[in-house]
Structure 1
């Protein structure tokens, strides 16, 4: 009986643990019962989000439906069909939700329209119009102010920020305080780090042919505190196959079919992870907030529901493949070019110094003197002739050196003793001059006749 009770308790605990693990790792909310059929790019025009950071609420604008989610409990608070204003140029696809000043706003991504949520309807708050000069601009919120950057309109892209002025209810231009500015771009991504906004990716036009659209491979940063743009360098990672992103404050991941690229702009690092079944199931731009990822996922079936999953980062980023720089600084390129140019020059200087230092450590014979570094010593003519003859030839025998001694009337044995004395004195003078305690003039037996002595110099010192 006790065994049965223990077994039942064990099964109950196991069921509880499994249920808790399921709740922890597989928290899900159904966003839509089926995937939207879109001719535009991807589902990013049909699923858009905004966060109320104070109340920890996530707003999901899915198709024509607005869903409110409590992020703390990860539970749905409600959903309703959003009533759009009776304007011909307003549709679900062109409205993007943004939360600021304690209210939810909807920004028109083509022109100046701005709407505020009132119950289940949108109320227009701007005095602007749909000028279509900032189509597909980057939309962001900073310090409760709504900004747009870039955008396309009338055959050109914009390269500046605009912001919504609540006093005039119009959009004004943010005037930079320097001349160096990025090219006009649409579809750009942004990364917010305190007062700095990094601008990257997107499309721009060839300055010589406006019909040519190119992928932006430059990284720019705008400092709101100083109002200055700065070009950081060329992007190292291609974004040609980039389809979706996971973004948040100080956080950005872009994804393609094989890899996930986590970008850390303050450190200029790209962490490249291998894609997984979870990343492959993501169908729309997702968000990172307060340590969790909120991913919009679905399986490959066209009638599969779209589900919002709450997961920890390590569930998505599992296998790190590589770490690279996001961009190469132009200064770094100049330094590399400078190094390439300087290497031959520095090599020449090194060779000259090497030869000079080598010569400074050698004994030099010149004008009846022996020189070593900065020291100079005058020697007699006979000693100078002996050193010069030994330097010019590999070696000389006794008779060859005796011919250099002027007094030939002396007996051979006497002259030999004089020669040996001169050799000894020369070695002593050279030792005193250089401070090196070794013989500079060496003697050995002749290879032809062992009875004959041959004299030679230690030429490593000359």
Structure 2
């Protein structure tokens, strides 16, 4: 009886080994805490370590198969995020727990997935018949997804874009967008590199790259991984090539590799190895750990990635820009010679025969009597600096003797009110209206004077 039981379990083990080697339902990632390799097959079998050893596998209920989830790390935790955005699973002690309160959005397939400041992000993607250029973030407190506001001009809506996070910046390029000229078709996006500065959420366009380099992914997301702040792309249609994109040094390097049919690669920074699933001609699959340089193979080419500014511009654009600059310089030279000292008058006119103030020909009748006392006094004494205390007599009550503090308060209120109206009327700054200084005779005293040419007396 015992012998039959042993035979039964051996048969089960052999069947499992065969199913592991040929199935497409697998998920490979590095465990953040232990740096060990984790492989989950058919949502039921768990293998861990190097070499892989089968472990008990527990999990709560989740939506869709794990092969449709993207592994991502936040600090020392692993998360699995549905590739169309929505459901989020957490990897805990050889088990999976669903933590989101969302659903399968199916709205951002083919997006750029990344983490920053312990937060999960999706940028771009496709869903519900629309390409996207939105940025969404998973809120670990509410367990829901939110759209994040960005500033500047973002890249066009797209899917299957390449992206890499370097320090505070997300770099995005390539991808596919809707072809407006052909309904239900897509086309390659313009070959430009964009940067999103994440602390400020500000987009900027860095420049054009050489579109003849075949880093397109078409309908399938090409295998890629990051290592040492560089992005490595394994193009779909060129099985023997690996492209290394170094944003920091602005280079794209082409390697000829002997390794083909690579699935779900990641770089282990501890061992400096690329860990990946490899499928041979018979469909059998194995897990490999290959040193990075050995994985890349022989370098065959290196070019500048983001082209110099003159190569980023079309000939017509260059000519238009040059002609515009020359035209502006010529006009500036002409008017500079013609009216070298011309400066438009933006002040107030005082007509002494009427005792009225005008601005651009319009009568100013909004000044209060307390404000006019100061303005009239400043105009009458516009050629000299006036101590502030000299204005006090304008606000002394001859009938009722006020104390010094009350008089100063009246003066300050009237002066502040006058300045506010002058600023509003002329749209000037305070330094365009008044000049302040310390008295040459007593540094404790402050003096004021109307700015030259602010008041024109007729």
TM-score over 0.5 (shorter chain): yes
Measure, in 2, the Cα distance between the counterparts of 1:194 and 1:207. 36
Task: Report matched runs for 1:160-239 at 5 Å.
Answer: 160-178=134-152, 180-207=153-180, 209=182, 211-216=184-189, 217-236=191-210, 237-239=213-215
Measure, in 2, the Cα distance between the counterparts of 1:153 and 1:339. 38
SS in 2 for 1:186: coil
Q: Which residue of 2 aligns with 1:325?
A: 304
Q: Which residue of 2 aligns with 1:262?
A: 244
TM-score of the two chains, using structure 1 as the length reference: 0.56
Measured after TM superposition, the shift of residue 105 of structure 1 is 2.0
Measured after TM superposition, the shift of residue 207 of structure 1 is 4.2
Structure 1, unaligned runs of 5 or more: 1-29, 38-44, 70-74, 345-462
Measure, in 1, the Cα distance between the counterparts of 2:204 and 2:113. 20
Query: Alignment partner for residue 244 of structure 1, among 216, 223, 229?
Result: 223
- How many residues are aligned here? 296
Cα distance change, pair 259–119 in 1 and its aligned pair in 2 (3 A)? closer
Measure, in 1, the Cα distance between the counterparts of 2:105 and 2:308. 37
Cα distance change, pair 122–211 in 1 and its aligned pair in 2 (3 A)? same
SS in 2 for 1:294: strand
Query: Alignment partner for residue 59 of structure 1, among 10, 15, 38?
Result: 38
SS in 1 for 2:86: coil
Cα distance change, pair 106–343 in 1 and its aligned pair in 2 (3 A)? closer
Residues 1:309 and 2:284 are matched in the alignment: no
Query: Alignment partner for residue 253 of structure 1, among 213, 232, 240?
Result: 232
Cα distance change, pair 61–326 in 1 and its aligned pair in 2 (3 A)? farther
Q: Which residue of 2 aligns with 1:134?
A: 108
Residues 1:293 and 2:280 are matched in the alignment: no
Q: Which residue of 2 aligns with 1:150?
A: 124
Structure 2, unaligned runs of 5 or more: 1-16, 324-458
SS in 1 for 2:288: strand
Measured after TM superposition, the shift of residue 95 of structure 1 is 1.8
Measure, in 1, the Cα distance between the counterparts of 2:40 and 2:116. 21
Cα distance change, pair 289–36 in 1 and its aligned pair in 2 (3 A)? same
Query: Alignment partner for residue 116 of structure 1, among 90, 95, 101?
Result: 90
Query: Alignment partner for residue 107 of structure 1, among 76, 81, 90?
Result: 81
8 Å Cα contact 1:205/1:213 also seen in 2: yes
Measured after TM superposition, the shift of residue 181 of structure 1 is 0.6
Measured after TM superposition, the shift of residue 136 of structure 1 is 3.0
Measure, in 2, the Cα distance between the counterparts of 1:300 and 1:57. 24
Q: Which has the higher contact order (CA 8 A, sep 6+)?
A: 1
Measure, in 2, the Cα distance between the counterparts of 1:321 and 1:287. 23
8 Å Cα contact 1:203/1:215 also seen in 2: yes
Measured after TM superposition, the shift of residue 138 of structure 1 is 2.4
Deviations 1:211-254 (A, max 9, x none): 22123333222111221112223331222478432423512222
Measure, in 1, the Cα distance between the counterparts of 2:227 and 2:134. 22
Cα distance change, pair 261–117 in 1 and its aligned pair in 2 (3 A)? closer
Cα distance change, pair 225–262 in 1 and its aligned pair in 2 (3 A)? same
8 Å Cα contact 1:298/1:306 also seen in 2: yes
Cα distance change, pair 303–318 in 1 and its aligned pair in 2 (3 A)? closer
Cα distance change, pair 93–297 in 1 and its aligned pair in 2 (3 A)? closer
Measured after TM superposition, the shift of residue 78 of structure 1 is 4.2
Measured after TM superposition, the shift of residue 103 of structure 1 is 2.8
Measured after TM superposition, the shift of residue 336 of structure 1 is 6.3
SS in 2 for 1:93: helix
Residues 1:68 and 2:48 are matched in the alignment: yes
8 Å Cα contact 2:160/2:217 also seen in 1: no
